[in-house]
């Protein structure tokens, strides 16, 4: 009896005090809400848009609606192109920054982060001001007589992709920077001493050793991209809707929560599958936390 009491004081009580609060929050505000979304995806709504517990698979049937299928494809294309562009721009950029030897390196690194302390919505709006028909780029092009009339640069797939790349590229640069910084330079010297051409060294040594950064960066760009509805809203103006816009609409103006919940299940499944693939490729979950 005495022993268990001692054990309680020594282990159970401190464990409860330290892990208790976080457990409570994770269960109440992560696990239960997600389970509830899954349940709601099987519910119906009555004529007043209230959610009722009449179980149905109708919401899932509606997911195969032709308009929706088009938007899934569009989301897939936008997210894939965004991820590829982030790799193509982010990799050489991170490489140069991470290999800078002087003290400038830290400043260069900070300069990647500073833009992201200005709210992302406002920065996206800055792009709109720059690209709009009465915007700066058009004024410049017209005053240089390159074009006679303003060119519509907004509301195109390309504009949405630009905004997505802009918002998400730090999530590619930061893990790449970490991976490249860890790279052992003596390996590169060894490779070139043994007669490898620079391209060979890159594909045979550098790329495999930094692939972990590419994998985690891609995951952290691709998945959020599907849900960034405000980017496609502001820059795509309804022409480049993504699955995030569909969900947002069901929970706001559309007021069909069960359908929105079913759409969210797609995003949850995509996330689960991609995380599984990431782990299969040897990805470390701890390197995902920004």
Q: Is the dihedral of CA 26, 225, 270, 279 positive or negative?
A: negative
Is 25 one of the binding residues for another protein (CB under 8 A)?
yes
> Of the ranges 56-64, 152-160, 199-207, 257-265, which one interacts with another protein (CB under 8 A)?
257-265
Is 110 one of the binding residues for another protein (CB under 8 A)?
yes
- Cβ–Cβ under 8 Å, residues 100 and 108: yes
Q: Bridge partners of 45?
A: 51
Is 123 one of the binding residues for another protein (CB under 8 A)?
yes
- Taking the least distance from each CB to another protein, the nearer of 37 and 77 is 37
Distance, CA of 218 to CA of 225 (rounded, Å):
10
> Of the ranges 26-34, 55-63, 176-184, 207-215, which one interacts with another protein (CB under 8 A)?
26-34
- Judged by CB under 8 A, the residue of 71, 74, 154, 166 near another protein is 166
- Judged by CB under 8 A, the residue of 2, 3, 5, 103 near another protein is 103
Of 120, 94, 91, 92, the residue nearest 109 (C-alpha): 94
> Of the ranges 63-71, 106-114, 175-183, 200-208, which one interacts with another protein (CB under 8 A)?
106-114
Tokens of 159: 């504009």
Tokens of 220: 């952290």
Is 34 one of the binding residues for another protein (CB under 8 A)?
yes
Is 52 one of the binding residues for another protein (CB under 8 A)?
no
- Taking the least distance from each CB to another protein, the nearer of 29 and 69 is 29
Contacts of residue 15, Cβ cutoff 8 Å, sequence gap at least 6: none
Is 147 one of the binding residues for another protein (CB under 8 A)?
no
SS3 52: strand
Task: Kindly write out the interface string for residues 225-254 of this chain, putting x where it contacts another protein by CB under 8 A and - elsewhere.
Answer: -xxxxx---x---------x--xx--x---
- Taking the least distance from each CB to another protein, the nearer of 10 and 69 is 10
Q: Bridge partners of 51?
A: 45
Of 122, 121, 125, 96, the residue nearest 111 (C-alpha): 96
């Amino acid at each position: 009896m005495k022993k268990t009491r001692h054990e309680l004081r020594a282990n159970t009580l401190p464990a409860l005090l330290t892990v208790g609060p976080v457990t409570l929050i994770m269960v109440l505000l992560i696990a239960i809400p997600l389970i509830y979304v899954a349940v709601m995806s099987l519910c119906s709504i009555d004529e007043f848009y209230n959610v009722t517990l009449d179980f149905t698979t109708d919401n899932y049937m509606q997911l195969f609606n032709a308009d929706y299928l088009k938007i899934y494809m569009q989301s897939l294309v936008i997210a894939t192109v965004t991820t590829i562009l982030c790799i193509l721009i982010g990799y050489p950029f991170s490489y140069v920054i991470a290999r800078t030897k002087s003290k400038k390196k830290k400043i260069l690194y900070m300069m990647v982060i500073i833009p992201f302390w200005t709210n992302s919505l406002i920065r996206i709006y800055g792009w709109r001001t720059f690209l709009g028909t009465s915007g700066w780029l058009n004024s410049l092009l017209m005053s240089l007589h390159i074009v006679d009339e303003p060119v519509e640069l907004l509301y195109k797939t390309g504009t949405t992709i630009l905004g997505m790349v802009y918002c998400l590229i730090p999530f590619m640069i930061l893990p790449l920077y970490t991976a490249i910084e860890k790279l052992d330079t003596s390996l590169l010297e060894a490779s070139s001493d043994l007669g490898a051409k620079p391209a060979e060294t890159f594909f045979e040594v550098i790329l495999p050793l930094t692939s972990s950064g590419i994998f985690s960066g891609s995951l952290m760009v691709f998945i959020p991209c599907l849900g960034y509805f405000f980017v496609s809203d502001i820059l795509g103006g309804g022409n480049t809707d993504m699955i995030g816009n569909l969900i947002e609409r069901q929970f706001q103006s559309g007021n069909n929560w069960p359908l929105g919940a079913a759409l969210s299940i797609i995003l949850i499944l995509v996330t689960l599958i991609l995380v599984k693939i990431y782990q299969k490729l040897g990805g470390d979950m701890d390197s995902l936390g920004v």
